[in-house]
Structure 1
Amino acid sequence: MNPPDVSVVIVNYNGLRFLPECLDTVRAAFVRHSVEVIVIDNASVDGSQAFLRTRPDIRYIESTENLGFTGGNNRAAREARGQVLLLLNNDTRCDGNLDGLVDEALQPEVGVAGCHLVYGDGRLQFSVGFEHTPVRIALSWLGLEKQWRTPDVFRRVQTRPGFYALSNPSVDWVSGACLATRREVWERLGGLDDAFFMYCEDVDYGRRVRQLGLRASYRADVTVTHYEGAGKAWAGRATVLRTLRSYLLFVTKHFGRGAASRLALSLGLVFSAKALAHAGRAVVSGNPERRALQRDKRNGYFQAARQSFAAWWKQTPVVAR
């Protein structure tokens, strides 16, 4: 049997409610390119495994442990036979044809390609970003990132809606929620860096692609719905801590331990301020649900501040996952 043109790799962890739509739409998303779909389950406990075992249209890998987004993709990619790897989040819906994204990834000067992402309600989802310098990471947490008139130094992601209306052949990185790369580029880079359990692995991959002299490219004419967050009031404490860990790892890797230590101190101060702000909101809020949310945010940011200061003091990026 001839190998497929594309290997779609999906990492699943407790995503049963999204899987049927994701798998049904991804098969219909390729017209000109042949495709195989590889799904790896990261030790889900929501019934995902039983469901995936019934799908004859996928190649299924069942992990006995949670390998994270990065480890899951790396494990599944070892089984891929396609010329192009297309990493796709499990909480996605393919809204049209993905052939154009594959065509982009096949360009010899392109190392990685991403597409136009939208939330479930149709709102634009920011899927292209700026280089994650230590200064930009620290400033982006001040809460000004989505202000359109804010200078780009305050942004990790491109937030101007007009940007996403046109394809861009040269960007810093694209979202790992839907990311296409040639398998030979993936193998040259050794896949995603396993040090990143989740978060920032796509930023790191984009940087390493550019270090090879290749481009990261954005296709505006390819759209995928990504249900990220699914209406949650906030990302949650674990997400903040994992993001902090990944940022410190990224800066240590690409800018040095001293830069990471200074970033840890800066983020510790920012997180402390955010925790105090949420503590104040919890006190004045008359709504019990909103008060509980503000307290949860307060506790999450206080914990992130403590871990940031600990990383600064010990000059190490290793904080809890």
Structure 2
Amino acid sequence: MDVSIIVLTWEDFDRTNGCVRSLPEGAEVVVVDNGSAAEIGAALRAMCDETGAKYVRSETNLGYAKGMNLGVRHSTRSRVILSNNDIVVRPGAIEELMARLDDPKVGAAFPRVLDATGKDQTAAGRFLTVGAGLGHATGLSVLFPRLRIVSTPEHGDWLSGPFVAIRRQTLDEIGGVDESSFFYSEDLRLCWAVRGLGLRLAYVPEAVVTHEDDASAKRKWAVEEISRRQTREFIRASRELAGWRGGIACSAYTVGVLLRAAVGGGSARRAVAKGAIEGMTAR
């Protein structure tokens, strides 16, 4: 099977073990240990020796993008899958994704993502345009779905990427995973870059994986902190990628976030508002 699967992990043997053992025979599996404690690293190394996966260790936590790029540098196949460690792959999923990459117009392929209960959690969205930003600020997005930043996977400008397949040539052309962020919005940046090559994204519902959302983040941060960080990186990425239009769009969107926080209150909305403000100034 002509695919290298990069599994990025941090301080988590059990989920990584389950992920690796769900992967099909014939795939090249590279486990990147992103600075785990020594005893967890030893267990990961032993598991890799048993399963035939490559074990690559960083002594510090490099973050998502740098960790994935490290794994890619240790891989050899012409197609690459970037995988969170809290993924379990259903039979046939890899083959379905690889078949979709046979289309030269497809730049990246995404599976259907289920949670542990079987509920569909495939996430997708639209790039933050001036129209979407103003729609969010004025409330018009409630009336006009095309002004919303969320989308169905079939029509998304970007899809969430806990498990994404891409040709190595495409990954090389976009310069690897964008390392501008330590964690969050890497999938948005990747989809922007792939589309910038004139390629499209493929949602492949026949390819199914299960995912424990934010498993690593939840061990370190409260839900509000996760929301703050996600919003900050979404705003920062949208602002940086789209130039002056992105600046206008993000400003309008942030106004909407602040108004909702002022009217609705609550710790979650305050966290999102704080993240939006940070995203407008972060470098």
Give the TM-score category using the shorter length: 0.7 to 0.9
Partner of 1:161: none
Tell me if the contact between 1:117 and 1:226 (Cα under 8 Å) persists in the aligned partners: yes
Structure 2 residue matching 1:10: 3-state secondary structure: strand
Q: Separation in 2 of the partners of 1:255 and 1:185? A: 21
1:15 aligns with 2:2: no
Q: Separation in 2 of the partners of 1:12 and 1:265? A: 36
1:91 aligns with 2:86: yes
- Higher fraction of helix: 2
1:72 aligns with 2:64: no
Q: Separation in 2 of the partners of 1:235 and 1:85? A: 32
How do 1:184-223 and structure 2 match up within 5 A?
A: 184-223=169-208
Offset, 1:307? 5.5
How do 1:93-242 and structure 2 match up within 5 A?
A: 93-97=88-92, 98-133=94-129, 135-136=131-132, 151-158=145-152, 172-229=157-214, 236-242=223-229
Q: Separation in 1 of the partners of 2:138 and 2:41? A: 40
Pair 17,257 (structure 1): closer, same or farther in 2 beyond 3 Å: farther
Offset, 1:113? 0.6
Pair 266,174 (structure 1): closer, same or farther in 2 beyond 3 Å: closer
Question: How big is each residue's C-alpha offset from its partner over 1:81-113, in whole Å with a ceiling of 9 and x where there is no partner?
Answer: 011001111101111212110121232221111
Tell me if the contact between 1:265 and 1:308 (Cα under 8 Å) persists in the aligned partners: no
Pair 46,248 (structure 1): closer, same or farther in 2 beyond 3 Å: farther
Pair 24,311 (structure 1): closer, same or farther in 2 beyond 3 Å: closer
Moved over 6 A (4+): 140-145
Offset, 1:123? 0.3
Deviates more, 1:47-56 or 1:91-100: 47-56
Structure with higher RCO (Cα < 8 A, 6+ apart)? 2
RMSD: 3.2
Pair 129,105 (structure 1): closer, same or farther in 2 beyond 3 Å: farther
Partner of 1:43: 35
| Percent identity (aligned) | 26
Larger Rg: 1
TM-score by length of 2: 0.83
Offset, 1:311? 5.8
What is the identity, as a one-letter code, of the residue corresponding to 2:264? A
Structure 1: 5+ residue runs without aligned partners? 29-33, 159-163, 280-296
Structure 2: 5+ residue runs without aligned partners? none
